[in-house]
Amino acid sequence: MRALLPLVALVVAACASSGGAPTGRATETVRIDGVGTLNMAGASTTASVTSLAYPIDQAWAALRTVYDSLAIPVTTQDPATHTIANDGFKIRNRLGKTALSRYVECGNTQMGPSADSYEVYLSVTTHLKPADAGNTSVESTVEATARPVQFAQAPSRCTSKGELETRIATQLRTALAQPKR
């Protein structure tokens, strides 16, 4: 038993981390033979920011329609802060007509992207802010976790590909450019 004590101390020391705070967003890839890969990103989430040449009131009036067209159910709508969101919903395979793997990266299985076969818990938030010269700043954030449907496993963090955030801004710009009827 005493002979194992130095070995245990060495293993514990080897597992300890040192150094300063991480710079940037680190990604770790874990490969498990016969299962697939899982990409794990750091805990920080960055909002996608786009500027629109429309006043905030017009953008706010059109934003709910954009969420509806993308099949994002709205759970929060705050006119005072110009924030619309879904604080989290479970989804599989697709968001509307689009494969989830276009929006989030959750690793891969032998069958393809995990986002297309796993149960994904998705959270989407868009916040509008007044910008200079009467423009509007659109800040969207997408967060997701996923877990296999067939296994009792804790969810793994997914990363946004930025596509859903871009689509929100693009569809909002398109909706605002439409002539009023």
Give the start-to-end residue ranges of the domains of the chain: 48-177
Crossing angle of helices 56-69 and 163-177, rounded to 10°: 120
Q: Is there a contact between 136 and 54 (Cβ–Cβ < 8 Å)?
A: yes
Residue 181 pLDDT level (bands cut at 50, 70, 90): low
- With CA atoms as reference, report the closest residue to 91 among 101, 82, 100: 100
What does the DSSP 8-state code read for residue 111?
Answer: T
Token reading at 6: 């130095």
Q: Which fold has domain 48-177?
A: Alpha-D-Glucose-1,6-Bisphosphate; Chain A, domain 4 (3.30.530)
Q: Which two tokens stand for residue 74?
A: 């709205």
Mean pLDDT of the chain: 80
Strand partners, 121: 90, 145
Task: Note the pLDDT tens digit of each residue in 77-104.
Answer: 999 999 999 999 999 999 999 999 999 9
